[in-house]
Structure 1
Amino acid sequence: MRRATMANAEYALTMARYNAWQNRNLLRATAQLPPEGRALDRGAFFGSIEATFYHLLWADRMWMSRFKGTRPPEGGIPGSTRFDGSWDEFCGQRAAMDREVLDWAGQLDAAWFAEDLVWFSGALGREISRPKTVIVMHLFNHQTHHRGQIHAMLTAAGVRPDDTDLAFMPEHPEIL
């Protein structure tokens, strides 16, 4: 695979800030719904708003475990839409993961991006090797994709989140 050069440490840090800003934005909007509104199957890929949020947290944990060489989350993709705890506990763990992604992105350098990431894909059942530049772009694209689904579900439920455009991200957003 051709090594993409557009992902670098500055890109990763910008997208980590955007990720945290938008997670906070959508969680604030979601707070306007009752618990049954969060859990309602709205026909999205993972069904509900909360299941999609849970999948995002699971996926971020999975990628961080691969990047850092730590123990991955349990459950695989089929279990990624469940969370063992309350909504408030989820929100706390989401904020902690956003901080972890920010801290991770803040320590990256060009040498790290020059390498490939090798991991075992449970989805494909085999080892994969890809340039870290591509995988970092995937991490943030995956987050944006599923947050877009959450945004659409919220809008359909009559809830309007704040701005989502990267160009409108505050210079120093109150993230956590």
Structure 2
Amino acid sequence: MTNYPVEMYNYHAWASQTILGRLKELPPAVLHQEVNSSFRAIADALSHIYMVDKTWYLVLSGTDMGEALQECMPLAGRVLETAEDYVNLFAELSEQFREWFRNAPDLERTIILNNPYAGIRETRLSEIVLQVVNHGTYHRGNISTMMRQLGYASTMNDYALYWYQEPAASIS
């Protein structure tokens, strides 16, 4: 039986690596070139995605959301030099997620999420995983738009394309 939150996370990891692969094909300066968009530059968008992914990973791992945000917020301003640096950073975090999935409790388990910006609510672990995926999809769209503004084509990274790819590391 397919574990859909895990499958969606696998898609998220694949899609992030796919767009990073495209960025590696472009001139290195593209990563830091300023654009008039939701982020100053593509590197800023990548750092934001990573920061949010890392925050949610810590929450899934049992860290209070306020503490996770405090630990991860500085990551949003940490801009890396090359697309390869981002490839490695995202791959490392993806492996941490995969290890968590291998050892995870029931993904339908409910936790109390104390979001300092939105309040307290009960949330299933699976909902958090889907939030990670949805957030990444949204901002990969921003990156695609930014690439086009800079005069470069993006790359398809839709979930439907993922269906036809070899999964990065299938988790049973």
Distance change (3 Å), C-alpha of 1:84 and 1:53: closer
TM-score (norm 1): 0.75
Find out whether 1:117 has 2:107 as its counterpart: no
Distance change (3 Å), C-alpha of 1:164 and 1:135: same
Distance change (3 Å), C-alpha of 1:107 and 1:159: farther
Separation of aligned partners in 1, 2:59 and 2:90: 18
Separation of aligned partners in 2, 1:93 and 1:129: 30
Taking only aligned residues, the RMSD between alpha carbons, in angstroms, comes to 2.8
Choose from 100, 103, 107 the match for 2:99.
Answer: 103
Q: Between Structure 1 and Structure 2, how many residues are aligned? A: 163
* Cα offset, 1:29, TM superposition: 1.4
SS at match of 2:3: helix
Alignment partner, residue 4 of structure 1: none
TM-score (norm 2): 0.77
Answer yes or no: is the 8 Å Cα contact 2:43–2:79 preserved in 1.
Answer: no
SS at match of 2:21: helix
More helix by share: 2
SS at match of 2:68: coil
Choose from 79, 82, 86 the match for 2:77.
Answer: 82
Answer yes or no: is the 8 Å Cα contact 2:114–2:121 preserved in 1.
Answer: yes
Structure 1 segment 1-176 matched on structure 2, within 5 A = 10-70=3-63, 72=68, 74=71, 76=73, 79-83=74-78, 86-87=81-82, 88-108=84-104, 111-113=106-108, 115-124=109-118, 126-169=119-162, 170-174=164-168
SS at match of 1:105: helix
- Structure 1 stretches lacking a partner, 5+ long: 1-7
Q: Percent identity?
A: 20
Query: C-alpha deviations, 1:110-131, integer Å up to 9, x for none?
Result: x331x3232332434x444323
* Cα offset, 1:150, TM superposition: 0.9
